[in-house]
Structure 1
Amino acid sequence: MSEDSSVAPSPEETILAVEDLEKHFGGIVALDGVDLSVGSGITGLIGPNGAGKTTFFNCLTGFYTPEVGSITFQGADITGSRPAAVAKSGMVRTFQIPRELSEMTVLENLLLAPPDQSGERLSGAWLRGDAFVDDELSVRERALEMAEFFELDHLLDEPAGNLSGGQRKLLELARALLTDPEMVLLDEPLAGVNPTLEEKILDRIHDLEAQGYSFLFVEHDIEMIMNHCDRVIVLHRGEVLTTGTPEEVQTDDRVIEAYLGEVDV
């Protein structure tokens, strides 16, 4: 099902475009011809349990390969690309359950994130010339700045596995941003987070939006989505049910019916 073109970003404003995307698991159709486009700012992606939201994220970021359809990011076809290639193209994601390296410190986790470091290349690591040293210092400086931005700087020497759930979400978002993305896909970034850290995460996301980052945001807290997103896309049974402003979506009878029809919502 196609989205409502009246609320879609123009071709010039579109960063991510998905056409006729299908993903099957045996006889189960998880995504059934998804058509949508995402522009700048913060876009919310909602839908009842089983609507296909996480499957959609997995297809976008290369963890699943769709059977049908195309994914275009910043004008380039990334359909079926591997996760590392998708991230290198400028689209990164976070996960419902953070995937930090728990035995490493917060700082070590951050230092691993920036791409194309000299130490990743055998020649750079072996020769360790001035360029290598400059690169290492630059990466460290960026990591420390990101830690300060997310108020993790007092935890730099702490093993990442010792962080609270909310702190781990902040660390994961910090690591994602250190890859220099154009768009960040947030998969339930507030799940299990206490209200104080939830507010901190949302404040950081809005600060980053003001700096030019774009976000596609999956979250079960509908009120939060309506209060913090510029545009909302609703998935239902693997299809785009509707798109619009938060005001339009929350008064749409189809959306109300879709949620009320789910006994576990």
Structure 2
Amino acid sequence: MTEIQNPILDVQGLEKHFGGITAIGGLDMRVGEGITGLIGPNGAGKTTFFNCVTGALTPDAGRVAFADGDITGKRPSAVAQEGLVRTFQIPRELPEMTVRENLQLAPRGQSGERLAQAWLRGDEFADDERRVREKAAEMAEFLEIDHVLDAKAGTLSGGQRKLLELARVLLTEPDMILLDEPLAGVNPTLEQKILDRIHDLESQGYSFLFIEHDIDVIMETCERVVVMHQGQVLTSGEPADVKSDDRVIEAYLGEEV
């Protein structure tokens, strides 16, 4: 197992129990810059780990540090303010609103969010609204969903909904994004589009922790891979090393490697 010397995300001794079931049992994980893959069988605790890190669940023990700040047990909105955001296996768009409206809700710190500004509606408010509209349109173009900007979000295909969710997350201007199966249910064309955009974003300085069940995608996309098993980290390292690890082969990959 190789360690990250200067992690962005540093999790130590994380525990989460549901009654008598231990979902996460004293997990240690350090994640650095770039694209890191997170693999493991169903029930390994990957999504529970995401939920504990991003505030959807409160850990029973342990510490979560992000960019040198302690975010343990903070609410999801507070974690997002620190620059750590996540997507979900099932996208959570607002289906009755248009794609454009969904995107324009995403940026942080809008003037209209402050009561005084909402009443005053002065030049700052107008400038802010214009900036948000422009950023939403630019992000839609970058992710190639600009042609559905005025469609109801609930009418989008599964792949388009994944792209919308990624766009909304990016508009919060995060430092790291936790991707929970972003390719699940996506057709091959859109899958490649999402992967291409992830690589583009990495080149712009974004970092990702990426849950995905397609081992080939993980090995081809990620610079580092972490393997979870029964709420613990089994091993981590470069894709070639992880793929050839006998424990990983036996537990997860079988003959496909």
For the aligned pair, the TM-score class normalised by the smaller chain equals over 0.9
Q: 1:72 aligns with which of 39, 61, 65?
A: 65
Task: For residues 88-117 of structure 1, give each alpha carbon's deviation from its aligned partner in whole angstroms, at most 9, with x where no partner exists.
Answer: 110000000000000000000000000110
- Structure 1 runs (4+) deviating above 6 angstroms are none
Partner letter of residue 158 of structure 1? A
Name the counterpart of 1:109. Answer: 102
Residue 46 of structure 2 is aligned to residue 53 of structure 1? yes
Q: 2:8 aligns with which of 9, 15, 24?
A: 15
Gaps of 5+ in 2: none
Partner letter of residue 85 of structure 2? V
Name the counterpart of 2:228. Answer: 235
Name the CA distance, whole Å, in 1 between partners of 2:123 and 2:182.
39
Name the counterpart of 1:38. Answer: 31
Matches of residues 1-265 of structure 1 in structure 2 within 5 Å?
A: 4=1, 7-11=2-6, 14-259=7-252
Partner letter of residue 103 of structure 1? E
Task: For residues 20-49 of structure 1, give each alpha carbon's deviation from its aligned partner in whole angstroms, at most 9, with x where no partner exists.
Answer: 101000000000111110010000000011
Task: For residues 139-175 of structure 1, give each alpha carbon's deviation from its aligned partner in whole angstroms, at most 9, with x where no partner exists.
Answer: 1110010000011111111000000000000000000
How far the C-alpha of 1:260 sits from its partner, in A, is: 6.1
How far the C-alpha of 1:259 sits from its partner, in A, is: 1.8
- TM-score, normalised to structure 1's length? 0.95
Task: For residues 193-239 of structure 1, give each alpha carbon's deviation from its aligned partner in whole angstroms, at most 9, with x where no partner exists.
Answer: 00000000000000000000000000011110000000000000011
Name the CA distance, whole Å, in 2 between partners of 1:259 and 1:116.
43
How far the C-alpha of 1:8 sits from its partner, in A, is: 2.0
Name the CA distance, whole Å, in 2 between partners of 1:259 and 1:41.
24
Change (3 A) 1:145 1:260: closer
**Aligned-partner SS, 1:161:** helix
Partner letter of residue 205 of structure 2? G
Partner letter of residue 20 of structure 1? G
Identity level (%): 71
Name the CA distance, whole Å, in 2 between partners of 1:10 and 1:242.
16
Partner letter of residue 8 of structure 1? E
Name the CA distance, whole Å, in 2 between partners of 1:49 and 1:143.
35
How far the C-alpha of 1:122 sits from its partner, in A, is: 1.1
Gaps of 5+ in 1: none
**Aligned-partner SS, 1:92:** strand
- TM-score, normalised to structure 2's length? 0.97
